[in-house]
Amino acid sequence: MSFELPPLADLLAHSYVVRLPMRVKFRGITQREALLIEGPEGWGEFSAFVEYAPAEASRWLSAGIEAAYQPFPEPLRTTIPVNATLPAVAASEVGAVLEKYDAPHTIKIKVAEQGQGLEQDLARVAEARRLYPQAALRVDANMGWDIGQAVHALKALSEFDLQYAEQPVPGITGLAEVREQLRTAGIDLKIAADEAVRKHTDPLEVSRLGAADLMVIKAQPLGGIQAVLDIAQQAELDVVVSSALDTSVGLSQAAALASALPALPYACGLSTGTLFADDVCTEPLLATAGYLPVQRIDADPRKLKQLRPEQQRVDWWLRRVEQCYEQLVKA
Ligand SMILES: O=C(O)CCC(=O)c1ccccc1C(=O)O
Ligand SMILES: [Mg+2]
C-alpha cells in the first residue's frame, strides 16, 4: 500500500452501511450492499461482494480508505467514455433496459449466464444490434463457458460484429487457448481478461504471457487507484476501467482512476449507476450520451439514513472492516 492506514477506530466511526435496490437483476443480486467511509478528502467506498473472504475483500477496503483519505490523482481528462451494461435479460426486455441509458455508443452484454443457453445469448445480442445498429457491442461471459463452448458461441456471436469478448472461460491459459482457436478458425475477435486479472495473485501475468488482447482493471478489487495506475503502467496491453457495481461514490473513484490513465482507447464500464433504483447521493453519477463526468461524489446524509439496512447487516459490515483491516496491517 502506498499510504498510511488511519486508526481502525477512526475508520469505524466514519463508516456507513447502505443497501441499494437494483432495477434489474445483475450477478444474481437484486440488492447491493456497500459501506461508505467519510474521510478528510471525501467519501470512499468499500463494497466487496458479500461472499468474498477477508483476504480478497481487504484489497477493496484498501481502495475505499485511499479514496477517503488521499486526494484523487491529477486528471488528464474531464469526462470518461463509458459503455452501457446489459445484464443477461430476455430479448424482450433489452429495449427497456437500454432505454435507461442516455444514447449509448458502446454496449456491454452479459452472456453465458447460468441456466441459460446460447440461443438466449444470440437473441439478446441480436436485439441490441437491431436497436443500436451503430453502437460498438462487446460481450462478457464471466467465465461461464468451457473452451469448446466458448469457441462455438463466439463464432456464432461474432456475426453481430463484436468489439471484444470478456473472460469467456476461466483462467489465463484458457483465454490464450480460446484466442488461438478463434484465430485459427479465421475469426477476428479480441479477447479481454477480467477475472484473470483481478482474481489472480499477479495481475500482470495475463499481459506478460500475452494471453489476451486487453485487460479489464477495477479500482476496488485491485486495491485502489494508485495500485491500478501502477499495474496499468506496467501492463503491455490496453486497459479498460470497469465498475464493480459500485454506488456513485465508488463510480467516482473509478472515474478518477480512468481520468488519470495516459491512454484510454476503450469505453469504460462505469455506467452501472443506471442499474440502480436508488443511490447514496441526490444526483447519481450517470452518463450523458455515453460520457461520465469526472467528479468527487459525496454521500447524502438523508440517503444514508433511508438506505441503511437492519442492524444485523450493519454489524456484519463493521466486523468485516475489522477483519479486512487486520489483513492490511499484516500485509
Ligand atoms: O463493465 C461493465 O460494463 C459493468 C461492470 C461489470 O460488468 C461487473 C460488475 C461487477 C462485477 C463484475 C463485473 C464484470 O465485468 O464482470
Ligand atoms: Mg467482466
Q: Which ligand is nearest to the CA of 271?
A: 1
pLDDT in tens, 127-154: 999 999 999 999 999 999 999 999 999 9
**Residue 218 annotated as catalytic:** yes
Q: Considering all CA atoms of the chain, what is the largest pairwise distance in Å, rounded to the nearest integer?
A: 58
Residue 110 and residue 135: Cα distance in Å, rounded?
A: 16
Domain with CATH 3.20.20.120 in the chain: 79-298
Name the band, by pLDDT with cuts 50, 70 and 90, for residue 3.
Answer: confident
Does residue 140 have its Cβ closer than 6 Å to ligand 1? yes
CA of residue 38 to ligand 2 center, whole Å: 29
pLDDT in tens, 223-244: 999 999 999 999 999 999 999 9
CA of residue 282 to ligand 2 center, whole Å: 28
Of residues 108, 199, 218, 305, which has the active-site annotation? 218
Going by alpha carbons, the residue nearest to atom 3 of ligand 1 is: 269
Average pLDDT, the chain: 97
Binding residue positions for Mg(2+): 140, 166, 194
Going by alpha carbons, the residue nearest to atom 12 of ligand 1 is: 244
CA angle 246, 315, 223 (to 5 degrees): 40
pTM for this model (two decimals):
0.97
Bridge partners of 268, per DSSP, are 82
- Per-residue pLDDT at 55 exceeds 80: yes
- What CATH number should be reported for the domain whose range is 8-71+302-330? 3.30.390.10
CA of residue 7 to ligand 1 center, whole Å: 32
Instruction: Find where cell 463494497 sits.
Output: 47
Residue 27 and residue 257: Cα distance in Å, rounded?
A: 24
Q: What stretches of 70-117 show up as alpha helix (H) in DSSP? A: 91-99
pLDDT in tens, 198-213: 888 899 999 999 999 9
Nearest to 279 by CA among 293, 294, 300: 300
Query: Average pLDDT, stretch 33-45?
Result: 98
Residue 239 and residue 217: Cα distance in Å, rounded?
A: 7
Query: Average pLDDT, stretch 219-226?
Result: 96
Looking at domain 79-298, which of 3.30.1360.30, 3.40.50.1700, 3.40.630.30, 3.20.20.120 is its CATH number? Answer: 3.20.20.120
**Residue 110 annotated as catalytic:** yes
Q: Are 232 and 217 in contact (CB under 8 A)?
A: yes
Domain with CATH 3.30.390.10 in the chain: 8-71+302-330
Does residue 245 have its Cβ closer than 6 Å to ligand 1? yes
Instruction: Find where cell 444514447 sits.
Output: 103
Name the band, by pLDDT with cuts 50, 70 and 90, for residue 27.
Answer: confident
Q: Is 172 helix (H, G, I), strand (E, B) or coil?
A: helix
ipTM of model: 0.98
For the residues of 117-170, what is the DSSP string, one character each?
-HHHHHHHHHHHHHH-TTSEEEEE-TT-S-HHHHHHHHHHHGGG-EEEEE--SS
